[in-house]
Amino acid sequence: MSEVKYGDILGPEDEASRAKRVRSRFWTTLRKAARAVPFSEDLVAAYYCALDPATPHRVRGILLAALAYFVLPFDAVPDILAGIGFADDVTILIAAISAVGAHIGPRHREAAREALRDEEAAAPRPRA
């Protein structure tokens, strides 16, 4: 825990730096949490909504805060704990998506479907 700096979780952070952090860690974290996050398409759509400059600032702030919590490895329940590590992240994400879901539009959902198709196509296949 000593590695976590004040600004990583608690401190004030502007929207641009939070967006940069989310962009840099989102896909890696999603791959790790894929089994724990049964609503991957909604999560990816929320990601695209949060990064869309046309999204209202309040909505972007809510989504970026929830996505930042998702990508941070240090939170209330550490993500490395098998089975339950992403439970708190999922709760935060569901709450955020429920609160601002009306702003996640068809273009965000289509971008999410396309990105997930691309991710699936790029995933290495197990050898038979």
For residue 29 the two structure tokens come to 């974290």
Tell me which of 4 and 69 has the higher pLDDT. Answer: 69
Q: What is the mean pLDDT of residues 106-114?
A: 95
Identify the band that residue 46 occupies on the pLDDT scale cut at 50, 70 and 90. Answer: very high
Whether the per-residue pLDDT at 29 is higher than 50: the answer is yes
Tell me which of 79 and 63 has the higher pLDDT. Answer: 63
Whether the per-residue pLDDT at 39 is higher than 90: the answer is no
Tell me which of 2 and 123 has the higher pLDDT. Answer: 123
% residues pLDDT > 70 (the chain): 72
Please enumerate in sequence order all residues whose Cβ is within 8 A of that of 20, keeping only pairs 6 or more positions apart, or say none.
none
The Cα–Cα gap between 81 and 79 comes to 5
| pTM, to two decimals | 0.72
20: phi then psi, degrees, rounded to nearest 5: -65, -45
For residue 12 the two structure tokens come to 């004030």
DSSP secondary structure letters along 14-51: -HHHHHHHHHHHHHHHHHHHTTT-TTHHHHHHHHHHHH
For residue 22 the two structure tokens come to 């989310």
